[in-house]
């Protein structure tokens, strides 16, 4: 019985941390980070997606989680997170209450935007169909160094992000 439980746990762990080849690309974020061309993949994992939207009628809460090529579901180093509210249902629209975080270590250490330097997001296409949301647009942000959420970023060593994104996101489960 214990062997069966251990074997099941090992299989679950292997499946959970499966390489990107077992994952489906749901979109991309492509642009420059401090002038260096970079691409992040928005992945749909067999266990679900870290990118999603919540439909509140006239407002969509959107989370885009882009990872470097080859990253597993739990890998965060080099990942880019964009959270925003999209007021309205017809593009062009501006993202509201936008936050951007570029992770360099763990889930929190890296570079982040702040409320006093809110990123600019322009939505160029938005279409809801069935349970999904197709979205594309641009993001421009200045990111300050931070060790965790709730901390004011330090802009002495700021990073500049300029990127385009496009994705088809599942709704929140």
Give residue-wise pLDDT tens across range 65-98. Answer: 999 998 877 789 999 999 999 998 888 889 999 9
| % of the chain at pLDDT higher than 70 | 84
Residue 61 scores a pLDDT above 90? yes
Burial (Cβ within 10 Å: 0-12, 13-18, ≥19) of residue 109: middle
Q: Are 153 and 141 in contact (CB under 8 A)?
A: no
Query: In terms of DSSP bridges, do strands 120-129 and 132-146 run parallel, antiparallel, or are they unpaired?
Result: antiparallel
- pLDDT in the model for residue 99: 95
- pLDDT in the model for residue 9: 29
Ranges of each domain in the chain: 2-170
**Is the pTM here over 0.85, yes or no?**
no
Find out whether the peptide bond into 92 is cis, omega within 30 degrees of 0: yes
- pLDDT in the model for residue 172: 64
CA distances to 58, 59, 79, 106 from 84, rounded to whole Å, are 14, 10, 17, 22
Please state, in angstroms and rounded to a whole number, the distance separating the CA atoms of residues 162 and 144.
15
Q: Are 64 and 82 in contact (CB under 8 A)?
A: yes
CA distances to 25, 93, 100, 125 from 89, rounded to whole Å, are 24, 8, 22, 10
- pLDDT in the model for residue 20: 42
Mean pLDDT within 144-172: 91
């Amino acid at each position: 019985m214990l062997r069966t439980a251990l074997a099941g746990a090992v299989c679950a762990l292997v499946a959970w941390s499966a390489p990107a080849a077992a994952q489906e690309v749901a979109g991309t974020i492509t642009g420059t980070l401090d002038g260096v061309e970079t691409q992040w993949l928005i992945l749909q994992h067999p266990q679900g997606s870290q990118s999603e939207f919540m439909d509140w009628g006239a407002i969509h809460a959107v989370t885009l989680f882009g990872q470097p090529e080859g990253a597993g579901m739990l890998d965060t180093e080099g990942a880019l997170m964009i959270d925003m509210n999209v007021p309205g249902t017809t593009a062009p629209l501006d993202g509201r209450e936008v936050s951007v975080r570029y992770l360099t270590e763990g889930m929190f250490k890296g570079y982040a935007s702040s409320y006093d330097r809110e990123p600019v997001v322009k939505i160029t296409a938005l279409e809801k169909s069935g349970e999904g949301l197709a979205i594309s647009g641009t993001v421009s942000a200045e990111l300050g160094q931070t060790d965790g959420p709730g901390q004011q970023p330090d802009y002495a060593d700021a990073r500049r992000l300029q990127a385009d994104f496009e994705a088809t996101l599942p709704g929140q489960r």
